[in-house]
Amino acid sequence: MPDERIASVAMTRVTQQASAEDTDVLAVEEPLEIRVAWEAGGEAREKNIAVTMRSPGDDADLACGFLFTEALIRSHEEIDSIRHWGSPNIIRVSLHRGTKLDVSKLDRHFYTTSSCGVCGKTSIDATRVANARILPAGRLAGGEVIHRLPSVLQEQQTAFRATGGIHGAAIFDYDGNLLRAREDIGRHNAVDKVIGSLFREGATPLSEKILMVSSRASFELVQKAIVAGIPVLASVGAPSSLAVDLARELNLTLLGFVRDGRFNIYAGQIA
């Protein structure tokens, strides 16, 4: 079955000696419009709340992960249905009657590129999600487990191996067992997809879990992990200073440069 996340593209390959017509395999990037339908005061309402540039596939996971990590919904039980709506690039999430929706949060006018998960926010205050609260103290993850995670994530990154241009995110338990993995051209989308897939099964909050990402650890990834209740975020790349500040403030263990048998601890502790 063809992988909708990748596409073959004609191009010219140039070396110092010659040039030749050839083809290459690239990551597909397409917009996804996320709509929410709900009822308020006995009246049916619907709103387009976000457009994100993503890799096609796992769109329901992406939509649910986005709504959850932006604190627009709290439980999978609030969702009545999820389906594409007249186009493979539009997905509609219908909420059960009686679901309380903070309409003010729908006025942020989200537009996110594949490189930025907060680009559509209309103010600095809006970059902070309201229910990103301090994580409870608990059992520490082990360093031996952390060292094993990059290779397991890499094994799951089939689209990355084909294109070299797509991010991966995976969630593990504290024993290092892989629970779920997703890929996307946007690192924040990959995280929303992997969190959303478990959210849809009612598995959140994801206590005593580790989120491993193939990218750098940015502020929005730290925030998404915290909202999902994930106590450890491990990244192959570097964290940003704001990511470290938020992790320290809200008790997230933040690890960077997790590769080649080493890692740095920027916040929290490891057993």
Collect all residues with Cβ–Cβ distance below 8 Å to 248 and sequence separation of at least 6.
267, 268
Please indicate whether residue 116 is annotated as part of the active site: yes
Q: How far, in Å, CA of 110 to CA of 120, rounded?
A: 4
Q: How many Å apart are CA 55 and CA 115, to the nearest integer?
A: 12
Among 37, 90, 116, 152, the active-site one is 116
Residue type, 35: R
3-state secondary structure of 22: strand
Instruction: Answer for the pair 69, 228: CB distance below 8 angstroms, yes or no.
Output: yes
Residue 44's identity, in one-letter code, is: A
Sign of the dihedral through C-alpha 46, 32, 110, 224? positive
Distance CA 257, CA 262 (A): 7
The side-by-side arrangement of strands in the sheet containing 178-184 is 178-184, 167-173, 209-213, 232-235, 253-259, 262-267
Integer angstrom CA distances of residue 59 from 87, 220, 251, 260: 12, 19, 30, 33
User: CA-to-CA distance for 112 and 189, rounded, in angstroms?
Assistant: 10
State the catalytic residues.
116
